[in-house]
């Protein structure tokens, strides 16, 4: 045999070894899936391949108590139309709730405004937790633009029992110094 034949034979053996190694690695990776499932089942770790179908329940909701939340909308020297799409909802403390407000710019120019919330009774504001609100940022509306804006909130379970109705009121003000082009 020549040196060239020896090298070709050596290269084939090396290639065969690499192919066997690759096949073994693939087989090992493939075998890890049932192994992982068994480990998760034995240890009680949530199995990603077969998630539990049990529905999660929010244990923070006080379903034995209902609070009426009324919504109000005003503007201050700002000729927009602004209103809640529903005037009230009944919620349980701890329950996540979403409501929508609608605003429309009635001017023929872009206007930037900011909403400021207030609560009635005043003490209720400490227990009214907004998770999402248009009042967190300035709102710029183009001429004639209409927009629906969500408010997502939770009423803290620690709300005093003598409060059964909360009024959430927003007043939109034009932001001073905004471009009035």
Q: SS3 string of 73-140?
A: EEEECCCEEEEECCCEEEECCCCCEEEEEEEEECCCCCEEEEEEEEEECHHHHHHEEEEEEHHHCCEE
User: Which pair of structure tokens corresponds to residue 6?
Assistant: 């020896």
pTM recorded for the entire structure? 0.65
User: Which pair of structure tokens corresponds to residue 20?
Assistant: 């066997």
Give CATH for domain 67-174: 2.60.370.10
Q: Quick one: pLDDT at residue 47?
A: 46
Residue 83 backbone phi and psi in degrees, to 5: -160, 155
Domain spans in the chain, listed from the N-terminal domain onward: 1-54, 67-174
> Distance between CA 82 and CA 84 in Å, rounded?
7
Query: pLDDT tens digits, the chain, 181 residues: what are they?
Result: 677 777 877 888 887 887 887 777 777 776 766 766 766 666 666 544 444 444 445 568 888 999 999 999 999 988 899 999 999 999 999 999 999 999 999 999 999 999 999 999 999 999 999 999 999 999 999 999 999 999 999 999 999 999 999 999 999 999 876 554 4
Q: Quick one: pLDDT at residue 44?
A: 62
Q: Which of 181, 152, 180 is nearest to 78 (CA)?
A: 180
Q: Quick one: pLDDT at residue 181?
A: 47
124: how many CB neighbours lie within 10 A of its CB?
Answer: 20
177: how many CB neighbours lie within 10 A of its CB?
Answer: 7
User: Which pair of structure tokens corresponds to residue 64?
Assistant: 């034995």
Q: Quick one: pLDDT at residue 3?
A: 77
């Amino acid at each position: 045999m020549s040196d060239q034949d020896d090298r070709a034979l050596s290269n084939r053996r090396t290639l065969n070894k690499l192919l066997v190694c690759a096949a073994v690695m693939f087989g090992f990776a493939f075998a890890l899936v049932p192994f992982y499932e068994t480990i998760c089942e034995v240890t009680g770790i949530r199995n990603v391949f077969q998630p539990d179908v049990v529905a999660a329940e929010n244990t923070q909701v006080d379903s034995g108590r209902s609070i009426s939340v009324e919504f109000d909308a005003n503007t201050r020297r700002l000729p927009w139309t602004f209103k809640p799409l529903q005037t009230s909802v009944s919620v349980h403390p701890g329950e996540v709730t979403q409501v929508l407000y609608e605003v429309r710019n009635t001017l023929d120019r872009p206007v930037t405004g900011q909403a400021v919330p207030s609560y009635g009774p005043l003490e209720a504001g400490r227990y009214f937790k907004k998770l999402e609100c248009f009042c967190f940022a300035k709102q710029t509306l183009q001429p004639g633009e209409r927009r629906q804006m969500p408010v997502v909130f939770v009423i803290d379970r620690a709300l005093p029992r003598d409060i059964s109705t909360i009024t959430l009121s927003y007043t939109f003000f034009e932001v001073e110094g905004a471009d009035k082009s």
